[in-house]
Amino acid sequence: MIKLFNTLTRKKELFKPLKKEVVSMYHCGPTVYDYAHIGNIRPYIFADILRRTFEYNDFEVKQIINITDVGHLTSDEDEGADKVELAAEREKKGVREIAQKYTDQFIKDLGQLNINTEQTTFPKASEHISEQIALIKELEDKDYTYITSDGVYFDTSKFEGYEKLGKLNVEQLREGARVVKNPEKKNPSDFALWRFSPKTEKRHQEWDSPWGRGFPGWHIECSAMSMLYLGETFDIHTGGIDHIPVHHTNEIAQSEGATGKPFVNYWMHNEFITVDGKKMAKSLGNIITVEDIARKGVIPLAYRYWLLQAHYRTRVNFTWEALEAAQNALHKLYEQYFALQSGGEISETYQKKFTEYINDDLDTPQALALTWQLLKDDTVPPEDKRATLVSFDKVLGFNLDVYKPAEIPKQVLALSEKRESARKEEDWEKADKLRKDIEELGYTIEDTNKGPKIKPLNS
Ligand code: AMP
Ligand code: ZN
């Protein structure tokens, strides 16, 4: 029994898949015009936990993350320049090259966070132009469209229930709560399906269409590609909460307008990551990338750990201190796991609780707390703890089995032995001096009743 919070109803609902054993999911992917920041990556850690939760419950998962390499303008509302074309000019490279560079980087980032993409399909918008044109034609045949001097638009007043996902106030929309820059639009919420190329300049990417040469609007790619790969109705569609009022609202209008069938059964959205209380965003100049984390000497998986401490529908504020604390906790988890013998059995009591938590709308904070509870529980034999942690890690994805404790350099071991002799001779001054020498090499010594324990500093 899996319960998921559905944005459509604003309630936790029992998940009922369309097919008995297969779940179909579509996640709005990146616009590949720059490095993704860790806020941009949150949606995919969330999607990864969702995928792993279904697999934990013995479902097969069909998963799509699209790559937006054309049509996303600098404003989400059909204004401004194409982000990927702008990047090509900024970096003096071809559009394809730019798109490939940032797609590769994105997939590398996902790998560093142990996001499982082996079976994920990453379709590109620029490679699905004919499907997008076919969908626009379908909408035109059904009289949902009109043509202006710069493109083909969707008339949102003709689609009943346009406001349903965003619980938008239609009156406000009609009166122009959104700033209308295009006087040819019939309603402020209308959006472009196809844009004509400017007459005076040649775009890097443009195609012929029944309406004239140009390129697709940003929203149509997600409707066309999700329905191509997953069918006209599929189970789950996800994205950041900013997608609710515009992008996903428009996807529903286009898809349901064309097919007359429900598009998606469960809409799920993650909250933002903030810095000093403000959304992490390129435009605010407060972004941090996965590479920045690695450069600071923090392991990228610490970001995954930090994020899982909060529920995906909770807004979280990023600080380096919090990330370092997460890294300490993760190292502690690795060390404790490593010290356990193998050959045990999964504790059914703990597995049952774990499943209850993750199946309750992905309650990762509770699942993490349970992990520490298990480690402290003296009634569970160590080898069973290990087997149970291996099972939890299928969902949490900390890569427990890849961890090896850092090897202590010989020089540090030699100094530690000298320090032990000095301590035996009660030469405290010498012992202290040797401790400092060891610290200068990046290690610290903890004196335990089993002898000295050497650890890397900051671990
Ligand atoms: P953008 O590059 O702004 O189009 O965002 C790409 C994806 O990242 C979208 O799904 C956004 O919802 C998501 N996103 C952007 N900024 C944040 C943030 N600060 N926290 C969480 N998600 C974000
Ligand atoms: Zn999308």
What is the bridge-based pairing of β-strands 234-240 and 264-270? Answer: parallel
**How far apart are the CA of 293 and the centre of ligand 1, in A?**
18
Nearest CA residue ID for atom 11, ligand 1: 240
Please indicate whether residue 273, judged by its CB atom, sits closer than 6 Å to ligand 1: yes
Helical (H) or strand (E) element with 331: helix 320-338
CB 84 within 8 A of CB 95: yes
Please indicate whether residue 31, judged by its CB atom, sits closer than 6 Å to ligand 1: yes
Tell me which residues have their CB within 5 A of the ion that is ligand 2: 28, 222
Least confident window among 120-134, 262-276, 368-382, 441-455:
441-455
Spatial distance between the Cα atoms of 267 and 249, rounded to a whole number of angstroms: 11
Nearest CA residue ID for atom 18, ligand 1: 39
CB 32 within 8 A of CB 68: yes
Q: Give the number of the atom of ligand 1 that is nearest the alpha carbon of residue 280.
A: 19
**How far apart are the CA of 339 and the centre of ligand 1, in A?**
39
List residues bridging with 447 in a β-sheet.
452
Q: Give the number of the atom of ligand 1 that is nearest the alpha carbon of residue 241.
A: 12
Please indicate whether residue 240, judged by its CB atom, sits closer than 6 Å to ligand 1: yes
pLDDT (average), residues 274-294 = 92
Nearest CA residue ID for atom 9, ligand 1: 240
Nearest CA residue ID for atom 10, ligand 1: 240
The model's pLDDT over 350-393, given as tens digits with 9 standing for 90+, comes to 999 999 999 999 999 999 999 999 999 999 999 999 999 999 99
Please indicate whether residue 43, judged by its CB atom, sits closer than 6 Å to ligand 1: yes
Whether 395 shows a pLDDT value over 60: the answer reads yes
**Mean pLDDT of all residues belonging to the chain:** 91
Whether 177 shows a pLDDT value over 50: the answer reads no
Nearest CA residue ID for atom 15, ligand 1: 40
| Higher pLDDT pick, 167 / 49 | 49
Q: How sure is the predictor about 171, in pLDDT bands with cuts at 50, 70 and 90?
A: low
SS3 430: helix
Q: Give the number of the atom of ligand 1 that is nearest the alpha carbon of residue 41.
A: 8
Please indicate whether residue 272, judged by its CB atom, sits closer than 6 Å to ligand 1: yes
The model's pLDDT over 196-235, given as tens digits with 9 standing for 90+, comes to 988 877 778 889 999 999 999 989 999 999 999 999 999 9
Whether 238 shows a pLDDT value over 70: the answer reads yes
Mutating to test ligand 1, I would choose from 26, 242, 313 the residue with most ligand atoms within 8 A of its C-beta, which is 242
Amino acid (one-letter) located at 381? P
Q: How sure is the predictor about 139, in pLDDT bands with cuts at 50, 70 and 90?
A: very high
Least confident window among 7-11, 175-179, 194-198, 357-361:
175-179
% pLDDT > 90, the chain = 74
End-to-end CA distance of the chain: 39
Amino acid (one-letter) located at 64? I
Q: Pick from 398, 394, 385, 391: which is nearest to 305 by CA?
A: 398
Q: Sheet holding 120-121: strands in order across?
A: 120-121, 60-65, 22-27, 234-240, 264-270
Looking at all shown ligands, the one closest to residue 40's CA atom is 1
Tell me the range of 44-53, 87-96, 281-290 where mean pLDDT is highest.
44-53
**How far apart are the CA of 222 and the centre of ligand 2, in A?**
5
Q: Looking at residue 158, what DSSP letter applies?
A: G
Please indicate whether residue 249, judged by its CB atom, sits closer than 6 Å to ligand 1: no
**How far apart are the CA of 64 and the centre of ligand 2, in A?**
11
Nearest CA residue ID for atom 17, ligand 1: 39
Spatial distance between the Cα atoms of 226 and 397, rounded to a whole number of angstroms: 26
Please indicate whether residue 238, judged by its CB atom, sits closer than 6 Å to ligand 1: no
Looking at all shown ligands, the one closest to residue 273's CA atom is 1
Q: With both helix axes pointing from N to C terminus, report the angle between 348-359 and 38-56 in degrees, rounded to the nearest 10.
A: 130
The model's pLDDT over 22-45, given as tens digits with 9 standing for 90+, comes to 999 999 999 998 889 999 999 999
Q: Give the number of the atom of ligand 1 that is nearest the alpha carbon of residue 243.
A: 12
Please indicate whether residue 239, judged by its CB atom, sits closer than 6 Å to ligand 1: yes
pTM beyond 0.85, yes or no: yes
